[in-house]
């Protein structure tokens, strides 16, 4: 299972020129199902656990504040990077991409949507 997920993540990464790291992450424990990093100093697996807490907090906040609303994406920006997280609330995992801020975030989002659909077919 992880071999196919890893292959999909690598294919996705190749289509996002500004990509730094990406992963498919199990929501409950924050462990990566598959991950890729284009830099030795970035550990996508370590980031996965922290990002899982953000997704979990987002779900709780939506229950409290937004009365049934569903998040399309979560975007975190820094001075150098974009962190784009896509979670389908019906799935036990999420997809994240970390890209350089000088890249085109719209392209990353479109590619993520395509590969999220492929992951859903594969992971269920």
Domain ranges of the chain: 2-123
C-alpha dihedral over 89, 92, 93, 94, to 10 degrees? 10
The whole-number pLDDT of residue 83 equals 95
The whole-number pLDDT of residue 60 equals 86
Question: Would you say 27 and 90 are in contact if contact means Cβ atoms under 8 Å apart?
Answer: no
pLDDT tens for 25-37 read: 999 999 999 999 9
- Close Cβ partners of 46 (under 8 Å, ≥ 6 residues apart): none
Of 5, 23, 13, the C-alpha closest to 96 is 23
* Homologous superfamily, domain 2-123: Dynein light chain 2a, cytoplasmic (3.30.450.30)
Distance CA 74, CA 55 (A): 8
What is the pLDDT averaged over residues 38-46?
89
What is the pLDDT averaged over residues 94-118?
90
* 70, pLDDT greater than 90: no
What is the pLDDT averaged over residues 44-67?
87
Q: Is 65 exposed, middle or buried (0-12, 13-18, 19+ CB in 10 A)?
A: exposed
Question: Would you say 33 and 46 are in contact if contact means Cβ atoms under 8 Å apart?
Answer: no
* 1, pLDDT greater than 80: no
Q: Determine the length of the chain.
A: 124
């Amino acid at each position: 299972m992880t071999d196919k997920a890893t292959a999909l993540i690598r294919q996705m990464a190749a289509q996002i020129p500004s990509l730094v790291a990406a992963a498919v992450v199990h929501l409950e424990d924050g462990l990566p199902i598959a991950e890729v990093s284009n830099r030795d100093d970035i550990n996508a697996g370590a980031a996965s656990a922290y990002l899982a807490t953000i997704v979990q907090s987002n779900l709780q906040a939506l229950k409290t504040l937004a009365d049934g609303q569903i998040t399309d994406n979560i975007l975190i920006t820094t001075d150098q990077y974009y962190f784009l997280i896509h979670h389908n609330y019906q799935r036990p995992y999420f997809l994240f991409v970390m890209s350089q801020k000088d890249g085109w975030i719209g392209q990353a989002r479109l590619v993520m949507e395509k590969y999220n659909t492929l992951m859903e077919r594969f992971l269920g």
